[in-house]
Amino acid sequence: MSSMQKRVVVVGAGPGGLASAMLLAASGVDVTIVEKRDHAGGRTSTFEQDGFRFDYGPTFFLYPRVLSEIFSASGYSLDREVPMLRLDPQYRLVFGTGGELLATGDHERMEAAIAKLCPRDAKNFQNFMTDNRNKLQRFLPFLESPFESWRDLARPEMLKLLPILAPWKSLDQELRQYFSDERIRLGFSFQSKYLGMSPFRCPGLFSILSFLEYEYGVFHPVGGCGAVTRAMARICEDMGVTILLNEDVEAICFEGRKATGVRTNQRTIQADSVVMNAEFAEAAKRMIPRHLRSRWTDDGIGKKDHSCSTFMLYLGVDGRYDEVSHHTIYLAKDYRGNLHDIEKGHTLSQDPSIYVQNASVSDDSLAPKGMSSLYVLAPVTHSCDGVDWKRDLAPFRERVLDQMANIGMGDVRSRIRTERVLTPANWAAEFALHKGSTFSMAHSLRQMLHLRPHNRFEETDGVYLAGGGTHPGSGLPVIFESARISSKLLLEDLGIKPAWNFTQSAFDQSHLRDRDLAVQ
């Protein structure tokens, strides 16, 4: 049977679903994406309000290598389709305990910035880069491969990596061998929040996250990160993919344990395979019958360690903040206490950490002339009994606005012209995120690799997962990687040779450093 006679339904038009569709269509498969919202992109999309534009979710665009290769495999160029700015400075860190760090991909300037806080730590920056360059290069083939059982973990080449990966160390412990000043360590570990975890619990492996920023840069897609998924959706349609919007998948259809398509609120769509890009915890409970989930039962999913959530303010304001960096992170004076409130106490901090994206300083398309679009995020506990957002929203909003003065923005209240607020309750209700956890299941050692839901969903035939809930995990680069892994498995199971080949050994350290991109 030819590949053109094979049909795949992708549930969800988020970045993982769109990337899967591109790769499958490139190999000649008939692909239909079903999306319950009125636009593609999922949380990696943009909304407009009163002339201002905001990304819902991701605002840092890192390590474009994976997506660039997916575009190339589909016959397109990421550079041409999605203009990007390489930011310098990458971001500014302001410490509640005093001092700040202006992070830059210029290594000489970065050493000087570290030296302002702790001269003896500056000399270890290059050691950090060298060691993590080696760590990433050696671990990358495993990030690009499926993990379907403990046997994959026990491969000799994986066991040889253990001394380098040091899974018994937390991220903070890993960084102590380079940086004595806790502020510097926080500057190289706050990225664990991309995984919804504390640096004091996150495995030390994830030191590669900050390494990626300093090795390959932090980028801003012109028009916001939503510009990426808008381009992907357009390319999907150019490649013949059908995208059905405003259509909710109610269930995956099965004959025995074999998926045969999906049932939506409007029709039944037959398919040879199904890619589930919807958030795993809620989608599995709703779409896969209980008798096919002996491992991933409703109770079992509920007992997993789920990530934190986020409190969001999207503010359209009068005036510009040209002296404030594109990305600014304020780390609370009692940062450990703030993390405890989020992860253990499940309460709202009196002194929250915040992140502010002032993208208008780089991109005039996001706000009317003379105005600014501000994206303000505070990490918070996922939904729990201790927080009632109907009661707690207004006072917590005031605390978050107060913190903006700590990064030099003064009191923005009188300048607000439009505003939207999202809480964990909104993430749960509007985006079907389990407990409002914006980073899916946490990336603890007992929930990584083969211990996450598998790319080839292990309890059924013909169901494949893409997105942050499966291997390798959350964050845009690894979500795109999940799409590559799952698409390859799907095609193999259908007896189709992929039209693309990603050579794992071809990791090129200069791949993006030499890209001809605009620099802020």
Neighbour tally for 391: CB within 10 Å = 9
Q: Residue 61: name the closest of 36, 82, 32 by CA.
A: 82
User: Residues 455-476: what's their mean pLDDT?
Assistant: 93
User: Residues 113-138: what's their mean pLDDT?
Assistant: 95
Taking the CA of residue 40 as centre, how many other CA atoms within 13 Å lie in the half-sphere pointing to its CB?
A: 27
- Residues 485-497 as b/e (b if ≥16 CB within 10 A, e otherwise) read bbbbbbbeebebe
Residue 288 carries which side chain, given as an amino acid letter?
I
342 and 292 share one domain: no
Please identify, among 383, 412, 434, the residue that sits at the C-terminal boundary of a domain. 434
312 and 430 share one domain: yes
In sequence order, what are the residues at sequence separation of 6 or more whose Cβ sits closer than 8 angstroms to the Cβ of residue 78? Answer: 64, 67, 68, 71, 72
Alpha-carbon 238 to chain mean position: 26
Q: Over the stretch 6-18, which tens digit does the pLDDT of each residue have?
A: 999 999 999 999 9
Q: Is the residue at 11 inside a domain? A: yes
Q: Is the residue at 192 inside a domain? A: no
Q: Which three-class secondary structure state does DSSP give residue 162?
A: helix
Q: Is the residue at 151 inside a domain? A: no
Please identify, among 386, 416, 434, the residue that sits at the C-terminal boundary of a domain. 434
Q: Is the pLDDT of residue 111 over 90?
A: yes
415 and 463 share one domain: no
Q: Is the pLDDT of residue 395 over 50?
A: yes
Q: Is the residue at 426 inside a domain? A: yes
273 and 245 share one domain: yes
Lowest mean pLDDT among 150-164, 169-183, 312-326: 150-164
Full domain range(s) for residue 373:
308-434
Residue 106 carries which side chain, given as an amino acid letter?
D
User: Residues 480-490: what's their mean pLDDT?
Assistant: 96
Taking the CA of residue 284 as centre, how many other CA atoms within 13 Å lie in the half-sphere pointing to its CB?
A: 30
Residue with more model confidence, 514 or 311: 311
388 and 239 share one domain: no
334 and 267 share one domain: no
- pLDDT given at position 520: 37
Q: Which DSSP category does 111 fall into?
A: H
356 and 242 share one domain: no
316 and 396 share one domain: yes
Q: Which residue has the tokens 């985006």?
A: 431
Instruction: Give the strands of the sheet with 463-465, arranged side by side.
Output: 242-244, 30-34, 7-11, 273-276, 463-465
Lowest mean pLDDT among 252-256, 390-394, 471-475: 471-475
CATH of the domain at 42: 3.50.50.60
Residue with more model confidence, 390 or 501: 390
Q: Is the pLDDT of residue 485 over 90?
A: yes
User: Residues 473-502: what's their mean pLDDT?
Assistant: 93
- pLDDT given at position 317: 98
Give me 519's structure tokens. Answer: 């620099």
Q: Is the residue at 459 inside a domain? A: yes
What's the predicted TM-score (pTM) here? 0.92
Q: Is the residue at 139 inside a domain? A: no
- pLDDT given at position 515: 34
Residues 91 and 98: beta-carbon distance below 8 Å: no
User: Residues 169-191: what's their mean pLDDT?
Assistant: 94
User: Residues 172-196: what's their mean pLDDT?
Assistant: 91
168: confidence class by pLDDT, cuts 50, 70, 90: confident
- pLDDT given at position 214: 96
- pLDDT given at position 328: 98
Q: Is the pLDDT of residue 474 over 90?
A: no
Q: Over the stretch 126-151, which tens digit does the pLDDT of each residue have?
A: 999 999 999 998 888 877 888 777 67
Q: How many domains does the chain have?
A: 2
Mean pLDDT of the chain: 91
Dihedral (CA of 336, 448, 207, 476) sign: negative
Neighbour tally for 302: CB within 10 Å = 12
Q: Residue 47: name the closest of 283, 317, 280, 229 by CA.
A: 229
Q: What is the spatial distance between Cα 25 and Cα 4, in angstroms, rounded to a whole number?
A: 9
312 and 299 share one domain: no
Q: Over the stretch 209-265, which tens digit does the pLDDT of each residue have?
A: 999 999 999 999 999 999 999 999 999 999 999 999 999 999 999 999 999 999 999
316 and 420 share one domain: yes
Q: Is the residue at 400 inside a domain? A: yes
Angle at 493 between CA 487 and CA 496, to 5 degrees: 75
324 and 427 share one domain: yes
Which residues lie across from 356 on neighbouring strands?
328, 376
Using CB atoms within 10 A of its CB, is residue 424 exposed (0-12), middle (13-18) or buried (19+)?
buried
422 and 453 share one domain: no
Q: What is the spatial distance between Cα 357 and Cα 378, in angstroms, rounded to a whole number?
A: 12
Residues 321 and 358: beta-carbon distance below 8 Å: yes
Q: What is the spatial distance between Cα 265 and Cα 243, in angstroms, rounded to a whole number?
A: 15
Task: Please give the share of the chain, as a percent, with pLDDT higher than 90.
Answer: 79
Q: Is the pLDDT of residue 471 over 80?
A: yes
Please identify, among 434, 464, 481, the residue that sits at the C-terminal boundary of a domain. 434
Lowest mean pLDDT among 162-166, 423-427, 506-510: 506-510
Q: What is the spatial distance between Cα 474 and Cα 257, in angstroms, rounded to a whole number?
A: 28
Q: How far is CA 376 from CA 308, 312, 324, in A?
A: 16, 6, 13
Q: Is the residue at 484 inside a domain? A: yes
Give me 367's structure tokens. Answer: 């706000």
- pLDDT given at position 446: 77
